Amino acid sequence: MNKIPCRPDFKQGSYSAVQIFQTGVKEKLYGKSVLNAQMRYDIPQSKVGFASSVVFMSQGPATELDFGAALRYKPAQGTKFTGFLTESAISGGLLYRMKDAIIPQLFF
């Protein structure tokens, strides 16, 4: 009878790891890469701004590219020197996953 260990054992290979859950059963694990770029611009003397982002993810033969933008509304400005008031904002926008989906976003 095979026993499943509480903690999987990892054996490091040259480009990827091998994970063993049961005796004699091996599964190759691909390395993961994630690149993320974000930009935020607040219009001076306004309560409105926008943010944009690009995310690229890769693991083995699978890749994903998401990009999009969001509109920001700031009902209250934060104080710059005393720190008594912190900035708050609500944002809404869309991300597009290449050749697949449109992803709605809402941030508080």
Q: Tell which residue, 104, 32, 36, has the closest CA to residue 70.
A: 104
pLDDT at 93: 96
pLDDT score at 87: 79
Q: How far apart are CA 37 and CA 57, in angstroms?
A: 12
- pLDDT of 81: 75
Neighbours of 67 (CB within 10 A): 15
- Give the residue with greater pLDDT, 18 vs 56: 56
Q: Quickly state the pLDDT bin for 17 (edges 50, 70, 90).
A: low
pLDDT over 60 at 42, yes or no = yes
For the chain, the distance separating the N- and C-terminal CA atoms, rounded to the nearest angstrom, is 52
Confidence class of residue 86 from pLDDT cuts 50, 70 and 90?
Answer: confident
Greater confidence (11 vs 104) lies with 104
Region label for 82, one of left (φ > 0), alpha (ψ between -120 and 50) or beta (otherwise): alpha
Residue 20, pLDDT > 90, answer: no
**How do the domains of the chain map onto residue ranges?**
1-30, 31-107
